[in-house]
Amino acid sequence: MKRRVKHWIWLGILGSLLLGTAACSSSKTIEKETVTAEEKQVIRVGLGVTPHLEILENVKERLSEEGYELEIKVFEDFVLPNKALAEGDLDVNLYQHEPYLINFNAEHATDLVVAGETKFYFLPLGIYPGKVDSLDKLPEGAEVAIPNDLTNGGRALLLLQEAGLITLKEGVDITATVNDILDNPKQLKIVELEASQVVRSLADVDLAVINANFVLDAGLNVQEDALLTETADSKAAEKYASIVAVEASKQDDAAIQAFITALRSDETRNFINDTYQGAVIPVF
């Protein structure tokens, strides 16, 4: 009888030990998973909608594998993302080109810089058919719509010059205006419109020079519909490619460098080329 009692006592002790070991093991597993989640560093990013959000969604998973979590905030305004960055509400933003950043710093007394002094991609302007479907068929006095802002308007005029439709004064660059047109053999009527409205004018004009982001929104295809576009080695690509901006004191942070590395990957380049088919051009 005593032997049976001892036998059951030992079984009870052994069972308790096994349960304790399992509980300890389970506790360690949960603790390890919690620590892993807690150790993932958050990068707060401000973005414009098209195409930046889609590109960052592609980058997000790769950064997660490196221990970084992207917290993305989308802006439709051009001023607020830089204000949020300067005030410390964001760690980085991706939506602008360097000339805009320089101008913003001058106007707002901020100290934002290009992270890594690197350009990533740009959205080319293109000449699109309206009433006329070919540059060769363009009649005398044809109407050509272009953006009316200084940056995009100058780019549009340079593209029209590349197409052989006008000649600009020698030495003018992407800040050219209609007053810089030296020769206009077909007496084209240049119709200046707000950039977002140019694509809506296609039914009313013979040709239109349109920004690629508005082309995407309108469901047009750059490779199939454009008669001529800016290229990756154009002056526009060199000057107006998208950059990553940070507050000056943070440009060497490990998280920012990891963000830049993920953006500059072959995977990102392939995603851009496959997804946008010429509406967004990588320059890295």
Residue 264: CB atoms within 10 A of its CB come to 16
Number of H helices, E strands in the chain: 11, 14
Domains 39-123+238-282 and 126-230 share a fold: yes
b or e along 179-211 (b: 16 or more beta carbons within 10 Å of the residue's beta carbon)?
A: ebbeeeeeebebbebebeebbeebeebbbbbbb
- CATH number, domain 39-123+238-282, options 3.30.9.10, 3.40.50.300, 3.30.70.260, 3.40.190.10: 3.40.190.10
Amino acid at 96: Q
Determine if the pTM surpasses 0.75: no
Tell which wins on pLDDT, 127 or 231: 127
Instruction: Tell me what the pLDDT averaged over the chain comes to.
Output: 86
pLDDT at 31 over 50: no
The per-residue pLDDT for 238 is 86
Structure tokens at 98: 């360097």
Alpha helices by DSSP H, listed for the chain, are: 2-39, 54-65, 80-86, 98-108, 150-162, 195-198, 212-217, 222-225, 235-240, 254-263, 266-276
β-sheet bridge partners, residue 146: 192
The per-residue pLDDT for 27 is 40
- Hey, where are the domains in the chain? 39-123+238-282, 126-230
Q: How confident is the model at residue 235 (pLDDT cuts 50, 70, 90)?
A: confident
Residue 56: CB atoms within 10 A of its CB come to 20
Q: How confident is the model at residue 38 (pLDDT cuts 50, 70, 90)?
A: low
Degrees (nearest 5) of the Cα angle 126, 131, 134?
Answer: 55
Question: 44-98, pLDDT tens digit by residue?
Answer: 999 987 889 999 999 999 999 999 999 999 998 889 999 999 999 999 999 998 9
The per-residue pLDDT for 184 is 98
β-sheet bridge partners, residue 167: 183
Q: What is the CATH code for 126-230?
A: 3.40.190.10
pLDDT at 173 over 70: yes
Question: 94-147, pLDDT tens digit by residue?
Answer: 999 898 899 899 999 999 999 987 899 999 999 999 999 999 999 999 999 999
The per-residue pLDDT for 37 is 53
Q: In whole angstroms, what is the distance from residue 240 CA to residue 236 CA?
A: 5
Q: How confident is the model at residue 41 (pLDDT cuts 50, 70, 90)?
A: very high
165-194 average pLDDT score: 95
229-245 average pLDDT score: 90
Candidates 226, 209, 232; CA nearest to 161 is 209
The per-residue pLDDT for 277 is 86
